[in-house]
């Protein structure tokens, strides 16, 4: 008796989809699909094979010509694909002879009898603050890497056969680089304008939002939108009295361009109140401190517009400030070949998370299971010298494929979609990105000046202080908040009894981090970043995965006022 391939898909607003393809009882599969839709409103169902073979596409920008993920089907094959910048995440799992796929991890969780944490994914999270693809935080669910297509065929026997995934393109260095600065400036100015122009073809008189930090990249996007006559409203963050204020630079840019600027409250009370909604919107645990502030920016923009622009991708494309330590490490390694630390190890250290501290952070049973995992393998393809022999291009390739495609872009899209927004990132422009690999490395970094050619290209578009000021990351004052306003909350979020019952992190880990006793590299701002990493995981596992919070204990220091606790530590 011949088996018939079944398919079903549900889509919502062009932002989300979940579906299946394979052998199974049609009624049972359709009911499972509907069960997974409990969090989706206004969904549309289809159980028909499409005439053109394209079952679904999702575009972060909302532009039909820019599909970020796609599903192609026939009666004997299934293709899941994802573009190279990684703007929209995509997941799949196999249950019996059926492939289930979805744009959100949470949509697949109801299909699993008892979702379990993937320890390799947890370990990756501890190293990077995001889960490296193709891992996910849940056993049995696979994340499709950016720039890949995954194909399944049906064998003559009737079994599903998963073939090797296909790489769609490589970020590859040109053999004859552009060295002339004036030629590079003229080419870059044209490509930047073209990248923005491609993103505004459907905008007819409406106002768009720009997430404006006052840094170079977001300011360039705002300037080009104004250049093309687009009505722009900008949004920037106000961290209150803590941290390094960035909004004066945003105000300077807004005044220069003549656009209104909305200042969004990101004080610790507001951050706390929006922690859980942010984690649910992100879908995965993203452990960077910028996530809740970005959630607040998107929420504010939702009141005024349906489209937001950002400057995400500029640092990855033009070799931003985080590359300097790696260049120094490469020079040192060349001068001291006897040093045992490899370049990949230096790259791992740039994430400033918990790689190298495994025995000090995980409980013994977990450490025994992860100690033989080599996180260098998660970086090997991205740092492959085959495609980018020179150091600057190798770092740019890795940054695009790791920090961009696995962290920055998917979280930006998830936050936008959670607020019903289309998100447009003009630096994620394929002609622009590929052209940058034709430039000589000297044009990216001259002396201590990073992103040199980008600054030269836009020098006349923005105030000199904005273009040439030294780059800093977003100044989220996590350490100050954790040791002051959130001190007592740490006793709830990172309760020692709960951590002990969870069985993953050592129960006294938060206390050791707060003391600055975990290691020589974790002090100052890193204390808050690591505590936040743990907070996000704890909220994610309870609010998304649905694990219980058990065995809260009073045997910890966070009930004592921080100044008094600190006094007794002396």
Q: What count of other Cβ atoms lies within 10 Å of the Cβ of residue 429? A: 21
Q: 36: Cβ–Cβ under 8 A, 6 or more apart, which residues?
A: 10, 18, 102, 107, 108, 110, 111
Q: What percent of the chain shows pLDDT beyond 90?
A: 78
In contact, 399 and 315? CB cutoff 8 Å: yes
Global pTM?
A: 0.95
Q: 115: Cβ–Cβ under 8 A, 6 or more apart, which residues?
A: 109, 138, 139, 545, 546
With a cut of 70, say whether residue 201 has pLDDT above it: yes
Distance CA 25, CA 4 (A): 10
Distance CA 308, CA 207 (A): 9
Distance CA 312, CA 317 (A): 10
Mean pLDDT of all residues in 42-53 = 91
pLDDT digits (tens, 9 = 90+) for 365-387: 999 999 999 999 999 999 999 99
Measured in degrees and rounded to the nearest 5, phi and psi for residue 272 equal: -60, -45
Mean pLDDT of all residues in 394-411 = 96
Strands 207-211 and 307-309: parallel
Q: What count of other Cβ atoms lies within 10 Å of the Cβ of residue 65? A: 9
Kindly state the greatest CA–CA separation across the chain: 78
pLDDT digits (tens, 9 = 90+) for 305-315: 999 999 999 99
End-to-end CA distance of the chain: give it in Å, rounded: 78
Strand partners, 307: 422
467, two tokens: 């273009």
225, two tokens: 């939108």
How high is the pLDDT of residue 335? 46
Mean pLDDT of all residues in 130-142 = 98
Strand partners, 91: 102, 143
């Amino acid at each position: 008796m011949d088996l018939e391939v079944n398919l079903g898909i549900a889509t919502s607003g062009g932002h989300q989809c979940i579906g299946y393809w394979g052998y199974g009882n049609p009624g049972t599969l359709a009911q499972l699909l509907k069960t997974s839709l409990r969090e989706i409103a206004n969904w549309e169902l289809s159980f028909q094979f499409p005439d053109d073979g394209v079952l679904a596409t999702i575009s972060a920008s909302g532009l039909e010509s820019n599909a970020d993920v796609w599903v192609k089907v026939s009666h004997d094959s299934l293709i899941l694909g994802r573009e190279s910048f990684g703007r929209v995440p995509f997941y799949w799992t196999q249950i019996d002879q059926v492939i289930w796929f979805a744009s959100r991890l949470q949509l697949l969780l109801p299909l699993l009898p008892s979702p379990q944490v993937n320890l390799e994914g947890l370990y990756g999270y501890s190293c990077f603050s995001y889960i490296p693809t193709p891992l996910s935080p849940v056993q049995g669910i696979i994340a499709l890497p950016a720039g890949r297509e995954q194909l399944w065929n049906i064998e003559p026997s009737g079994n599903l056969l998963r073939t090797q995934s296909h790489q769609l393109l490589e970020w590859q260095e040109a053999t004859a680089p552009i060295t002339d600065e004036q030629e590079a400036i003229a080419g870059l100015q044209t490509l930047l304008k073209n990248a923005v122009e491609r993103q505004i073809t459907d905008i007819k008189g409406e106002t768009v939002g720009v997430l404006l930090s006052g840094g170079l990249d977001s300011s360039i996007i705002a300037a080009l939108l104004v250049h093309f006559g687009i009505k722009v409203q900008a949004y920037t963050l106000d961290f209150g009295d803590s941290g390094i204020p960035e909004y004066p630079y945003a105000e300077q840019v807004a005044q220069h361009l003549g656009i209104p600027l909305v200042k969004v409250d990101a004080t610790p009370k507001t951050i706390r109140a929006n922690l859980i909604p942010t984690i649910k919107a992100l879908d995965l645990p993203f452990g960077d401190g910028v996530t809740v502030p970005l959630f607040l920016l998107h929420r504010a923009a939702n009141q005024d517009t349906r489209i937001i622009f950002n400057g995400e991708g500029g640092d990855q494309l033009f070799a931003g400030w985080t590359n300097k330590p790696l260049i120094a490490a490469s020079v040192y390694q060349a001068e001291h070949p006897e040093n045992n630390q490899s370049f990949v190890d230096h790259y791992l250290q740039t994430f400033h998370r918990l790689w190298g501290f495994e025995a000090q952070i995980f409980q013994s049973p977990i450490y025994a299971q992860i100690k033989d995992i080599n996180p260098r393998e998660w970086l090997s393809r991205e740092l492959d010298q085959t495609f980018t022999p020179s150091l600057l291009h190798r770092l740019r390739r890795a940054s695009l494929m790791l920090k961009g495609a696995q962290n920055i872009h998917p979280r930006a899209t998830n936050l936008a979609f959670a607020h019903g927004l289309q998100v447009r990132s003009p630096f994620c422009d394929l002609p622009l990105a590929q052209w940058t690999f034709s430039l000589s490395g000297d044009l990216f970094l001259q002396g201590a000046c990073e992103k040199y050619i980008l600054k030269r290209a836009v020098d006349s578009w923005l105030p000199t202080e904005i273009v040439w000021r030294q780059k800093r990351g977003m100044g989220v004052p996590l350490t100050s908040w954790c040791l002051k306003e959130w001190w007592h909350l740490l006793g709830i979020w990172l309760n020692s009894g709960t951590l002990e019952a969870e069985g993953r992190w050592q129960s006294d880990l938060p206390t050791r981090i707060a003391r600055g006793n975990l290691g020589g590299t974790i002090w100052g701002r890193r204390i808050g970043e690591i505590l936040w990493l743990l907070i996000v995981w704890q909220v994610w596992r309870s609010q998304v995965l649905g694990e219980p919070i058990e065995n809260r204990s009073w045997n910890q220091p966070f009930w004592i006022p921080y100044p008094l606790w600190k006094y007794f530590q002396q």
